[in-house]
Amino acid sequence: MDPTSTIFSFLSVLLFGSTTNFNRVFPSESCCFPAIFNFGASNSDTSGYAAAFIQLKSPNGDTLFGMPAGRFCDGRLIVDFTRGIYASLLSREDTFSKALYTFDIGQNDLTQSLFFNMTIVQILPAIPNIVNHFSNIIKNLYNFGARSFWVYNTRPLGYFPKILTSFPLAEKDFIICAKPYNLLAQHFNAELKNALARLRIEFPLATIVYVDLYSALYSLYTHPTKNGFEHPLVLCCDYGGKYNYSEEAICGGNISVNGKSITVGSCKDPSVRVSWDGVHFTEAANKFAFDLVSTRDFSDPPIPLKLACHPR
């Protein structure tokens, strides 16, 4: 039997094994977080990469800012919409224990390993160590006074144009996504969900919420038209190939086409597209996902973002 199939046969057990039934009364008072501290890579980077390395070029940022704003996106990220709820934030030392700590990690741990020619079977054994390291970060923050944690799981990798282009022979599902890479993301998410459940037992005074971003974004691929999107597998800002993705082109960069240099620009209407550059999402997709995950419907335990300061 294929070892990949053997490992993935246990996914459904892992994914739903730690689900707990919560039927508690919610407090009426919304949280007023005095600060938000975000831990994440480029999906939630609001300018760190640009400040430390290279400035991004237009059309990054064009939808909202009218210019590049340090985001790998045409506009806002999920963390930007989160800050929109808590507009008058202050970052003072005495606010640390009352702040909201958001986490958007895991994607790079998986995709970078894939692009360094590791197989899925080689990556799977490393996932528990990755998740354990992440758990230790939460423990350390808790010891420093943090109490409210909002943790996004990783996205459906099998729909990324970069994955579809890099691994064209991968088994496809009914939406023509690369099925093994979605299963890899699901496996990571199952490990993360179980780890957070253990942390809730260890730290009953904290609010530690597992947020199913995977499922929120998955609906954009399964029902794009219903949700106001089109061509969900074709990215917006690149040039060439089946999915409008090319390793030779980057959003805002230059590429030679028939001996002529052209600038890689945006699609006509980013508001109806899901993928921005092959691994990051458009502002419209980020807004759609945020609107879903800020409710209780995609959270475990089922706590909406506005009540994420109340322990469960």
CA atoms of 6 and 10, how far apart (whole Å): 7
Predicted confidence at residue 92, as pLDDT, reads 61
Name, in order, each residue with C-beta under 8 angstroms of 94's C-beta and a sequence gap of 6 or more. none
Residues 6+ apart with CB under 8 A from 207: 147, 148, 149, 303, 308, 309, 310, 311, 312
Specify the pLDDT at position 186.
98
**CB atoms near residue 241 (< 10 Å):** 17
Percentage of the residues of the chain whose pLDDT score is greater than 90: 73
pLDDT digits (tens, 9 = 90+) for 111-120: 999 999 999 9
Catalytic residue list contains 80 = no
Average the pLDDT over 130-150 and give the result: 96
Tally of CB atoms within 10 A around 97: 13
* pLDDT score, position 149: 97
pLDDT attached to residue 6: 35
Whether the CB-CB separation of 178 and 164 falls below 8 Å is answered with yes
* Block residue for tokens 């459904």: 12
- State the catalytic residue, choosing from 187, 277, 294, 299: 277
Average pLDDT over residues 4-22: 35
d(CA 303, CA 297) in angstroms, rounded, equals 8
Which residue of the set 45, 266, 280, 300 is catalytic?
A: 280
Active site residue 133: no
Q: Which domains does the chain have, with CATH numbers?
A: 30-229+281-302 (3.40.50)
- Look up 42 and say whether it is catalytic: yes
Q: Tally the C-alpha atoms within 13 A of residue 158's C-alpha that lie toward its C-beta.
A: 25
Give the pLDDT confidence score for residue 93 in this predicted structure.
60
179-192 confidence digits (pLDDT tens): 999 999 999 999 99
Distance, in Å, from the CA atom of 35 to the CA atom of 102, rounded to the nearest integer, reads 11
Interval 55-107: pLDDT, tens: 899 999 999 999 999 999 999 999 999 878 665 555 566 678 889 999 998 99
pTM: 0.87
- Tell me what the pLDDT averaged over the chain comes to: 88
Considering the candidates 18, 30, 42, 58, report the single residue annotated as catalytic: 42
| pLDDT above 60 for 1 | no
Angle between helices 179-202 and 127-143 (to 10 degrees): 30
**Tens of pLDDT along 244-289?**
999 888 999 999 888 899 999 999 999 999 999 999 999 999 999 9
